[in-house]
Amino acid sequence: MTINRQKIKELYADKRYQTYFDVGLFFVLIFSFHFLYSFWNYTLDYWPIKSWVDKLFAWASALLFDQSTWTLEHVFRFDFFTRGKTIWFLNNENFYSGVTVAPECTSLKQWMHWLFLMLIFPGPWKHKAWYIPLGLVIVELTNVVRIVGISLFLKPFPHDFALAHDGIFKVMFYVVIFLMWAVWNDYFHHKKNV
């Protein structure tokens, strides 16, 4: 079976099929990076820069913890106390629940997802120069929303940590990345008029 590149180019040039190609490329890049990152993490243990990665994770988790506790205190006026990197609060069943901000909670993987996606996906570099850093900030803010959201969710639903952590708020990361990519694809890659 041979790939007819000319036929693929003609299909991509047809505006009816561009979205399918673009979304397909998005998913290929996201899943490719996921498997590359997993291999680098679990098989190679971040070789050859493990000590740097460990320091970056420690810095990023301290930053995330500070941002999340600040938001809980100043925006939501949430009653909590901290021990180490754990946010403790009295839930609605009158016992304490906690959310620990471990190094694995950082958005470093999602930052790298965003970088990988945007560096490879087509589009003008003059816009990538500001859109990529903006995306990194949005990813970090999304992670703060995740930690704060899990804390607020556990107050009335203390037994549903898995739903909050693995369901609602983990999926939110990838929805945000997809939406940022969709804006990029429509308004910078294909230059649709607003």
Could you read off the pLDDT tens digit of each residue along the chain, which spans 194 residues? 566 777 777 777 777 888 889 999 999 999 999 999 999 999 999 999 999 999 999 999 999 999 999 999 999 999 999 999 999 999 999 999 999 999 999 999 999 999 999 999 999 999 999 999 999 999 999 999 999 999 999 999 999 999 999 999 989 988 999 999 999 999 998 886 54
Q: Which residue has the tokens 């995740």?
A: 146
CB 128 within 8 A of CB 189: no
Q: What is the pLDDT of residue 13?
A: 75
Q: What is the pLDDT of residue 194?
A: 47
Q: What is the pLDDT of residue 193?
A: 54
User: Which of 105, 115, 116 is closest to 142 using CA atoms?
Assistant: 105
Residue 98 makes CB contacts below 8 A (sequence gap 6+) with 86, 87, 88, 89
DSSP letter for 39, please.
I
User: Which of 67, 147, 139 is closest to 101 using CA atoms?
Assistant: 147
The answer as to whether 1 is a domain residue is: no
Q: What is the pLDDT of residue 112?
A: 94
The answer as to whether 5 is a domain residue is: no
The answer as to whether 158 is a domain residue is: yes
The answer as to whether 15 is a domain residue is: no
Q: What is the pLDDT of residue 9?
A: 75
The answer as to whether 97 is a domain residue is: yes
CB 85 within 8 A of CB 102: yes
Q: What is the pLDDT of residue 74?
A: 98
Domain that holds residue 69: 20-188
Split into its structural domains, the chain has a count of 1
Q: What is the pLDDT of residue 14?
A: 76
Q: What is the pTM of this model?
A: 0.89
b/e burial code for range 18-44 (CB count within 10 A of at least 16 → b): eeeebeebbeebbeebeeebeeeeeee
The answer as to whether 133 is a domain residue is: yes
Q: What is the pLDDT of residue 191?
A: 81
The answer as to whether 13 is a domain residue is: no
CA of residue 166 relative to chain centroid, distance: 13
The answer as to whether 84 is a domain residue is: yes
